[in-house]
Copies of this chain bind each other. A is one copy, B any other.
Amino acid sequence: MNSYTEENYLKSIYHLSVPTDESVSTNSIAASVNTKAASVTDMLKKLADKKLINYTKYQGVSLTEEGKAIAINIVRKHRLWEFFLVEKLHFKWDEVHELAEELEHITSVELIDRLDKFLGNPKYDPHGDPIPDSTGCIKKDELIPISTLQPGQSAIIMGVREHAPVFLQYLEKMNLTIGKQIKPIEVIAFDHSVLLSVNNNTVSISRDVAKNILVTI
């Protein structure tokens, strides 16, 4: 069995490696798990001994197949619990992440499979992230950030790249939630902020916000 701490390291390495598919640096892991680089090095040795990561000193790390499977399973648990918290307990989408960080470490496989079934085998969590199935398969859709849309090109919000509560609360307030149809009207040359229409209203969002909202055309 792996400790709570080991699981968090594996999950962080997974999340850090997904976007680029390159090896992950000690410092980036340290930032992600909120420790110091020296502590990360200690843990990397341990995970390498357990054959959960590929590690050569100074060269960064990647997950082995086994390590990746463990990481994906934790992501599965995290997202299913988030779905549960929002759908059944009526938490808001900005309130569930921290709770899921705890719940994702509950060990029983039987529990999570039953939870999955109880929830109706949901495919996406409250932030639009895909929920891996029990075999570790993850559906990946081609989502693009609003910042890459052309003016006039309407699209539907499918997810977010940033999960910070303040960001999610802001989206809620602007009515920019999952499932909403939006259409960029104009990109302001000065600061690249985006004017877009949602629900027949025109709203303006910064480039930074536009980059963190994912849509499908």
Contacts and interface: CB of A to CB of B under 8 A. Distances in A.
Interface residues of A, number: 16
Contacts of A102: 106-108
Interface in A90-104: 90-91, 99, 102-103
16 contacts: A85-B111, A88-B118, A89-B111, A89-B114, A89-B115, A89-B118, A90-B114, A91-B110, A91-B114, A99-B106, A99-B108, A99-B111, A102-B106, A102-B107, A102-B108, A103-B106
Interface of A: 85, 88-91, 99, 102-103, 106-108, 110-111, 114-115, 118
A102 to B, nearest CB: 5
A111 B98 CA distance: 11
Contacts of A111: 85, 89, 99
A114 B85 CA distance: 9
Nearest to A85: B111
A27 to B, nearest CB: 28
Contacts of A89: 111, 114-115, 118
